[in-house]
Amino acid sequence: MSIRRLTTNDYHIYKEIRLEMLKNEPSNFGSSFSDESKFQDKQWIDRLSKDNVFTLGKFDNQKIVGITVLVLSPREKMRHGATIYSIYVRQDYRNKGFAQELINKATDLARENQVEIVNLSVVTHNKKALYLYNKLGFSIYGEEPKMIKYNGKYINQYLLFKEIK
């Protein structure tokens, strides 16, 4: 098992797991399967080619089993902050600590880039993820009402942060 940054050469496996994530957990993420399944290869490659975006993959041998994305702020006055997005582990690999490993790796990478505060968000109904984020030292600082609308229902989202300096 290993975690590494995905490169543009990995866009096929990134696309595969990202679309799986959106299809299997549609109410947990702001993006939709219907939107992203229409992306051309260039859009997937572009996502993996930004210097301030670190898409991390967790691998079981050559098979990708989890992902997360760390985005460093490119703005001078906000470079001390970063955001973690799209934390996902495939169903068969859950409850093995892989999400925690991905978050820890993203946090370490943020620290290596002089980041002092890491943010993330989670839909309020995802209690298991919220428990993990709290366990890892993230604290809720706000709630965005009606942030996602899925199947005609509004979903609120918690905003969390962790100081890592």
Confidence band of 1 (pLDDT split at 50, 70, 90): confident
Please report the domains of the chain, with CATH numbers, ordered by start residue. 2-121 (3.40.630.30)
Residues 126-135 pLDDT 10s: 999 999 999 9
Confidence band of 85 (pLDDT split at 50, 70, 90): very high
Question: Given this model, what pLDDT does residue 15 score?
Answer: 97
Measured CA to CA in angstroms, residue 162 lies from 22, 40, 78, 90, 113 at distances of: 26, 35, 15, 25, 15
Confidence band of 119 (pLDDT split at 50, 70, 90): very high
Question: Given this model, what pLDDT does residue 120 score?
Answer: 98
> What is the pLDDT of the chain when averaged over all its residues?
96
Residues 35-70 pLDDT 10s: 999 999 999 999 999 999 999 999 999 999 999 999
CA distance 9 to 46: 11
Confidence band of 138 (pLDDT split at 50, 70, 90): very high
User: Residue range 111-116: average pLDDT?
Assistant: 96
Phi, psi torsion values for 40, nearest 5 degrees:
-80, 160
CA 24 to chain centre: 15
CA terminus-to-terminus distance, the chain? 28
Residue 95 backbone class (left: φ over 0; alpha: ψ -120 to 50; beta: rest): left
**Joined tokens for residue 96:** 């093995």
- Identity of the residue numbered 27: S
Q: Report whether 144 contacts 124 (CB < 8 A).
A: no
| pLDDT score of 165 more than 90 | no
71 strand-pairing partners: 53, 83
